[in-house]
Amino acid sequence: MNRKRGDHMDISDIVSVIMGDIVEQEVDAIVNAANNSLLGGGGVDGAIHSAAGPQLLEECRTLGGCPTGEARITKGYRLPAKWVIHTVGPVWNGGNFREEQLLTDAYRNSLILAEEYDVRSIAFPGISIGAYGFPVYRASGLALRTIIGHLKDGSSLADVRLICFNENAHHFYSNALWEQASFI
Ligand code: AR6
């Protein structure tokens, strides 16, 4: 069932913040915090490529990279998830280089691509908060604002998870969910 703008919706039934490993999530799509080459790396990108197997890299080679803030989709291969949505968050450079806009774009473009592929359940990592150095207190508020804003505009997504790999991230993303959900 597609919700339309203005339909009643309980955000906490749809969005959750979970401690865990994104490669284990049994969802239609997981999101990868990739780099512009889309050819793999460390962090969550490395974990996704090693769990999905070498066919993921083969498909990524055909994509020709991805600009920061945009998103591309591949199959999930050996992952439980059917799809991997690869997005590229910004490198934090002090905040005056459109970092917030680019991180918003990364979430929004991932959500738009997910809907194009009929995805109902999706898991995100904390994009840009690792190697790319985006302050987690800013990234978490922005992530939840963007996701919830998208859901309110009408969406077929029924399950949106933010997967946190450590307690600190879990603390910030949980608080952000609580703050944003209470605005609805
Ligand atoms: N499941 C969930 N979250 C994870 C996992 C996992 N298996 N592994 C790490 N994280 P990062 P970025 C968390 O550095 O900042 C790569 O080399 C991690 O603890 O993976 O967007 C790419 O190729 C952190 O909280 O992504 C790029 O070059 C969060 O995921 C660059 O890093 C994001 O950390 C992208 O940097």
Nearest alpha carbon to residue 6 among 153, 181, 180:
153
Query: Which atom from ligand 1 is nearest to the alpha carbon of 88?
Result: 21
- Ligand 1 centre from 28 Cα, in Å? 20
Q: String of b and e for 43-67 (b: at least 16 CB within 10 Å)? A: bbbebbbebbeeebeebbeeeebbe
Q: List the structure tokens of 26.
A: 């049994």
Which atom of ligand 1 is nearest the CA belonging to 42?
A: 17
What HEC string does 72-127 produce?
EEEECCCCCCCEEEEECCCCCCCCCCCHHHHHHHHHHHHHHHHHHCCCCEEEECCC
Query: Is residue 21 among the annotated active site residues?
Result: no
| Sheet (strand 15-19) strand order | 15-19, 159-164, 121-124, 29-33, 83-87, 71-75
Nearest one of 82, 134, 77, 78 to 107, comparing CA atoms: 134
**Reported ipTM:** 0.99
From the candidates 45, 105, 118, 159, which is the catalytic residue?
A: 45
pLDDT by residue, tens only, the chain of 184 residues: 566 665 667 898 999 999 999 999 999 999 999 999 999 999 999 999 999 999 999 999 999 999 999 999 999 999 999 999 999 999 999 999 999 999 999 999 999 999 999 999 999 999 999 999 999 999 999 999 999 999 999 899 999 999 999 999 999 999 999 998 876 5
